[in-house]
Amino acid sequence: MIRIGLLGLGTVGTGVVEILEKRQEELKFLTGEEIKIKKILVKDINKKRKIQLEENIITYDYDEILNHEDISIVVELTGDLEQGYRYIKAALESGKNIVTANKAVVSKYLEELSSLAAKKDLAFLYEASVGGGIPILKSLKEELALNKITEVEGILNGTCNYILTEMFNEELDYEEVLEVAQEMGYAEADSTADVKGYDTLRKLRILGTLAFQGEINENDILLEGISEIIPFDIEQIKKKESTIKLIGEVKELEDGFTALVQPTIIKEDSYFANVNNAFNSVVFRGDNVGELNFYGLGAGMLPTANAVLGDVIDIIKGSYRKGNPLGKRKLKNLNTKLKNEYYLRISSPNDSIYKSIENISKELLSKKDNIAIITKEIEYLEIVELLSSLGIDNNNYFIARILK
């Protein structure tokens, strides 16, 4: 029998319990083992829950899991950065395999925890931290044996994709759509990490570091979120027979890489234009396999729980990639070589501001209530520095790169 210690019984934790109960016979046939959750760590032991649990299975004392000799796999689903890190590190040090969906922990401590797991000859798996139910990390690790990966890009956040889809299709304000997304469970009450792009950035950092076999940190990635978009911007984009998505992208360039998370204007007939609502999609390119596309629900109780249990199965069967999956390549950040045309909108404009940005303008779209331009090919940071020098607050402008 395989015994699991589950840390957290929120949305995903509940999904893990439900799938295990529903698919117990099938899992035993597949793995040759009965899989049982032995202990569940929660903050509030007296909280009423939607699922039936065995007596004495819940605990608020992590040591009950850490010191339990029969528990061989710890599934960390707390969603907390520093506490989650401490739980994972302690479990690895005590000889337990780890599965987590905690993208914040994986992104910040990827090298340290991967090294510790390899040193202890244990599993540290985190499929659910990127792309929800999409099996992207396992596929990426497998292809690395045969391919040099040269590019990874994707729509990696369901909340942002839902908001942009609804604004584009239903002509609603950003705040209206965000409120609906929160009611439907697509967005958290505090949606900052999603709409400011941090969630996408963390996922891209994980994907890029694995794909390029060299360290790409969070601060290596150019970042722009979607929170300042307004219906006026959507109107201008539609006139160009285009749509807009928040896209994360890492590309190999010479002996280094470029990395960005930015709202991106794409033609209506392009691949990512058809990825809508809360769906995610990831594309990577290898020198032998060519382009591989992955599509599916990027979040939600059951898709994410499904990815978590996929990792559990791989540990039981011993089918995961052993050792440290991270490479030792030394990569240069070449974002300064990255140039694009950009859509730029500035609210509350005046003649002085327009004259100041005239030099970077290729096409004037509007000069009335908002200044809107298509820039010449230019570095993103040049635009940001210009806006800063003009004293324009980041709440008063919106930037999106344009892909032709």
- Alpha carbon distance 212, 329 (integer Å): 8
Distant-in-sequence, close-in-space partners of 38: CB < 8 Å, separation ≥ 6: 3, 4, 5, 57, 65, 68, 70, 71
CB 286 within 8 A of CB 292: yes
Q: Which helix (H) or strand (E) holds 36?
A: strand 35-41
Active site residue 339: no
The residues with which 291 forms a beta bridge, in sequence order, are 285
Binding-site positions for NADPH? 103
Binding-site positions? 7-14, 103, 188
> Residue 224, Cα to own-chain centre: how many angstroms?
14
Q: Which helix (H) or strand (E) holds 262?
A: strand 256-267
Beta pairing, strands 256-267 & 242-253: antiparallel
- Alpha carbon distance 248, 365 (integer Å): 26
CB 101 within 8 A of CB 308: yes
One-letter amino acid for residue 243 of the chain: T
Binding-site positions for L-homoserine? 188
Residues in the chain: 404
Catalytic residue among 38, 39, 203, 245: 203
- Alpha carbon distance 261, 216 (integer Å): 13
Catalytic residues: 203
